[in-house]
Amino acid sequence: MNSIGKFLKSLRCSFLNESEDFFLKHIDKSKLPAHVAIIMDGNGRWAKKRGFSRIVGHKVGTETVRKVVKIAAELGVRYLTLYAFSVENWQRPKGEISALMDLFEEMLNKEIDELNKNDVRIMFIGSLSELSHGLQASINNASKRTAKNTGLTLTIGINYGGRTEIVDCMKQIAREIEEKRLSSREIDEKIITKNLYMSGIPDPDLLIRTSGEYRVSNFLLWEIAYSEIWITSVLWPDFKRKDFLKAIYDFQRRKRRFGGLEED
């Protein structure tokens, strides 16, 4: 390619990569993914690259959470689910874990008024009873205060594990059978879905993962059966509104076949 060609190509790429307006103009608001789930990854690497402690990365990451919740609500996405802490994350150093837990509590207490004002309904998934009393109190307060809101439903996974969710679901179903409220013959996909943490919420249409890792890390194992997966190498603290918009723009250009054939 000659130098003019290269120059034009770089212009086109930067246009596609950088313009928020471009995506806003080209996203079809009538075909938004109803449910977007995000594996927010890369805080530690972002901090390390700058010579900061991992905790600084987590702090800056909370800014991205704020931005993403805002743009999702503005666009009209119905459900946004964020993976904040996995059951496997307890393997990290104690200092990092307690900084993360403090950050969750601080952020919840600080943001709740604004979220409530913006009609956001907040929900939590995970083994919440294993969290500190202070964090559980903030979680209960946030869920209760926003329970009747009808705007964006924001679900946060804290101490969440996809396999744990399935185990909890199985236990619940077994209990119903023991108590003769259900027979084993009645078990089907609907019964399982009903007993998962996000009962009543549609499966994610779009699953975003930042930081360039090609894995699901025990997130929503049952629910992502047919989600469109969108991976970016951008680290979570660097993730911008336009990255979220680009994911939706790309999503709208996918052909979802669900095992069937494309319609003409």
| Number of neighbours of residue 257 by Cβ within 10 angstroms | 10
Q: Which of 90, 124, 87 is nearest to 105 (CA)?
A: 124
d(CA 170, CA 43): 34
What does the chain come to in residues?
264
Q: List 229's β-bridge partners, or say none.
A: 207
Q: Taking the complex as a whole, how short is the minimal distance between the CB of residue 194 and ligand IPE, in angstroms?
A: 26
Taking CB within 5 to 8 Å according to partner kind, which of ligand IPE, Mg ion, none is near residue 40?
A: ligand IPE
Taking CB within 5 to 8 Å according to partner kind, which of Mg ion, ligand IPE, none is near residue 232?
A: none
Whose Cβ is closer to ligand IPE: residue 193's or residue 217's?
217
For residue 60, what are its two tokens? Answer: 């800056």
Compute the chain's Rg from CA coordinates: 20
Whose Cβ is closer to Mg ion: residue 41's or residue 165's?
41
In this chain, which of 24, 27, 45, 221 binds ligand IPE, going by CB under 6 A?
45
Whose Cβ is closer to ligand IPE: residue 83's or residue 249's?
83
- Which residues are identified as catalytic? 41, 89
In this chain, which of 163, 215, 254, 256 binds ligand IPE, going by CB under 6 A?
215
Instruction: Tell whether residue 33 is a contact of ligand IPE (CB under 6 A).
Output: no
Instruction: Tell whether residue 84 is a contact of ligand IPE (CB under 6 A).
Output: yes
Site for ligand IPE in 137-176 (CB under 6 A): none
Q: Taking the complex as a whole, how short is the minimal distance between the CB of residue 204 and ligand IPE, in angstroms?
A: 15
d(CA 264, CA 252): 17
Pairing assessment for the beta strands 153-160 and 79-86 based on DSSP bridges = parallel
Interacting stretch for Mg ion, rule CB under 5 A, among 40-48, 59-67, 117-125, 222-230? Answer: 40-48
Site residue total, ligand IPE (CB under 6 A): 17
Q: Which residues contact 217 (CB under 8 A, 6 or more apart)?
A: 39, 41, 83, 86, 88
For residue 112, what are its two tokens? Answer: 């709740």
Whose Cβ is closer to ligand IPE: residue 49's or residue 175's?
49
d(CA 117, CA 82): 20
The contact set with ligand IPE (CB under 6 A) reads 39-45, 83-86, 89, 100, 211, 213, 215, 217
